[in-house]
């Protein structure tokens, strides 16, 4: 069976406070976008051999060993509670850049949980799937819901929102710069915003430019001026709203659906123009 795990952008991101467990409380809006990987899972007859999961990847490169991939970890997580779960073979074709602030790996994990549930009729409820997803990563639960959500806590406390961006097209630009997210968190001084992102999102999109902020930009842009320049270029090209997604390095811009875009970007940049 084949599914197509989509990714997300962050509409605003505020770091509110440092928690006693070492994590940070934040608020953001996750918005799903139609840029997808391809995930295939089939039952694998291993004929009594040592337990392993044949796992292959094509497309964009993914760092790390197969055993540490979130898709494999998702299978092992369910296998603990469903020992009758058959052996599987997994193939992942990566289209979404990794470590880019788009949640591609988290989406792959969440879609693996859902695909296993459907393929082998495990009868796991959506609430249970969300709990499993939370064990794999803070933004994994979002991809079980996969609708615009206001997120709090570490990103796992989700409230569905009615956010319609169908009047816009979205351009995704990733310059291939790796951001150390842990270091970026350490550089931020947490603070409560004057207005919640949830309230700002309810306003006209034309007001977002002045009010909807990603706190990571303040610490990442001075160190990586190339990323800041992408946002500037998007506004110069007529974007209604532009921002870095998550901790970067992807920057996105929202444009009226009818607007023609003329951007000059280096050939090595990952660039996708998408309907919202």
Burial class (CB in 10 A: 0-12, 13-18, 19+), 194: exposed
For residue 132, what are the contacts with CB-CB under 8 A and spacing of at least 6?
74, 77, 78, 113, 124
Active-site residue (options: 8, 94, 169, 231): 8
Contacts for 2-5 with beta carbons within 8 Å, 24 or more apart?
A: 2/38, 2/39, 2/40, 3/38, 3/39, 3/111, 3/114, 3/115, 4/36, 4/37, 4/38, 4/39, 5/36, 5/37, 5/39, 5/96, 5/104, 5/107, 5/108, 5/110, 5/111, 5/143
Which tokens sit at 245? 């997604």
**Taking Cα atoms as reference points, which of 180, 158, 173 lies closest to residue 269?**
173
259 as an active site residue: the answer is: no
Active-site residue (options: 108, 139, 169, 215): 139
What is d(CA 113, CA 220) in angstroms, rounded to the nearest whole number? 33
Residue 167: count of CB within 10 angstroms of its CB? 12
Which tokens sit at 1? 């069976």
262 as an active site residue: the answer is: no
What is d(CA 173, CA 135) in angstroms, rounded to the nearest whole number? 30
**Taking Cα atoms as reference points, which of 161, 111, 157 lies closest to residue 138?**
157
Cite the active site residues: 8, 139
């Amino acid at each position: 069976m084949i599914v197509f795990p989509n990714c997300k952008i962050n509409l605003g991101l505020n770091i509110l406070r440092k928690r006693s467990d070492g994590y940070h409380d934040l608020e953001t809006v996750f918005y799903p976008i139609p840029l997808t990987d391809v995930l295939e899972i089939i039952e694998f007859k291993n004929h009594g051999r040592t337990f392993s999961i044949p796992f292959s990847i094509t497309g964009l490169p993914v760092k790390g060993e197969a055993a540490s991939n979130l898709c494999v970890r998702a299978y092992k997580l369910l296998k603990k509670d469903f020992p009758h779960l058959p052996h599987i073979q997994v193939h992942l074709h990566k289209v979404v850049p990794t470590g880019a602030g788009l949640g591609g790996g988290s989406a792959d994990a969440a879609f693996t949980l859902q695909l296993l549930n459907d393929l082998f009729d495990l009868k796991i409820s959506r609430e249970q799937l969300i709990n499993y997803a939370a064990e794999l990563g803070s933004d994994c639960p979002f991809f079980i819901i996969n609708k615009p959500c206001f997120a709090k806590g570490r990103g796992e406390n989700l409230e569905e929102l009615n956010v319609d961006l169908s009047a816009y097209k979205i351009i995704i630009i990733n310059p291939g710069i790796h951001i150390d997210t842990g270091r970026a968190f350490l550089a931020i001084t947490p603070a409560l915003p004057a207005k919640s992102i949830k309230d700002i999102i309810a306003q006209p999109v034309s007001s977002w430019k002045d009010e909807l902020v990603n706190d990571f930009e303040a610490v990442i842009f001075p160190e990586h001026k190339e990323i800041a320049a992408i946002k500037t270029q998007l506004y110069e090209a007529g974007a209604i709203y532009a921002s870095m997604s998550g901790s970067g390095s992807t920057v996105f811009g929202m444009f009226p659906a009818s607007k023609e875009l003329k951007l000059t970007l280096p050939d090595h940049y990952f660039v996708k123009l998408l309907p919202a």
